[in-house]
């Protein structure tokens, strides 16, 4: 009787363990993608020029560890086992900075908040309105940006950016590649605007 009870207990435990098994969580990071622009002249044109990125603001629905999947216009889904490896706002700041460094070839780059008393010669502030997508569909980035000088609180230039990057396959790897492509497109717009402002 005892053996039978033990056998039932072992089997029940195995069944419960099998039912509660979950897949491991995967962690994703964004990567800079701008490249092939080394033939561009340096932004400074001989004078020391610094560029900063930030602050970058994101909406509350994106301020979470999970990747956010857009299922419909007014419906999102959280990817339970697919998380960002770092806060998304910090990740966007880092990628924009790395892309602009490649695109502009300035003398120095920094990420908000700045260290030290001096301000960058040009600062790109970004307010993300939407940044999400779905597997096998597309990633949409909508943002408002402003370019500031080293003195003065009023922007030298401002605009709205909207870009859609196709997701080539129904995989998270393809989804992240589309995120990277959208940030590269934003980086190129910011770089073009900063270069225009810096032109004598």
pTM for the whole thing? Answer: 0.84
The pLDDT of 189-195, averaged and rounded, is 94
Number of domain units in the chain: 1
Name the average pLDDT for the chain.
Answer: 86
Per-residue pLDDT at 23: 80
Q: What is the mean pLDDT of residues 140-151?
A: 93
Q: What is the CATH number of the domain that holds 167?
A: 3.40.50.10610
The secondary structure of residue 141, as a DSSP letter, is E
20 pLDDT exceeds 80?
A: no
User: Which residues, 6 or more positions from 98, have their beta carbon under 8 angstroms from its beta carbon?
Assistant: 32, 34
Tell me the C-alpha distance between 44 and 50, whole Å. 8
> What domain range includes position 117?
2-198
Q: How far apart are CA 178 and CA 94, in angstroms?
A: 17
Greater pLDDT, 41 or 167: 167
pLDDT in tens, 72-116: 989 999 999 999 999 999 999 999 999 998 898 877 888 888 877
């Amino acid at each position: 009787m005892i053996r039978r009870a033990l056998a039932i207990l072992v089997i029940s435990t195995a069944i419960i363990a099998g039912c509660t098994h979950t897949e491991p969580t995967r962690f994703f990071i964004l990567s800079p993608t701008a490249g092939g622009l080394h033939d561009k002249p340096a932004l400074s044109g001989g004078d020391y020029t610094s560029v900063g990125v930030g602050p970058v603001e994101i909406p509350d629905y994106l301020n979470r560890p999970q990747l956010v999947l857009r299922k419909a216009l007014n419906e999102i889904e959280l990817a339970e086992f697919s998380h960002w490896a770092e806060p998304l706002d910090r990740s966007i700041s880092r990628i924009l900075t790395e892309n602009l460094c490649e695109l502009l070839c300035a003398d120095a780059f920094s990420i908000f908040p700045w260290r030290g008393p001096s301000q960058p010669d040009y600062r790109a502030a970004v307010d993300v309105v939407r940044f999400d997508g779905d597997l096998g569909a597309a990633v949409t980035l909508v943002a408002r940006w402003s370019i500031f000088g080293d003195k003065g609180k009023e922007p030298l230039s401002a605009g709205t950016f909207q870009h859609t990057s196709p997701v080539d396959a129904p995989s998270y790897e393809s989804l992240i590649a589309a995120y990277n492509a959208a940030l590269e497109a934003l980086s190129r717009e910011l770089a073009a605007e900063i270069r225009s402002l810096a032109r004598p």
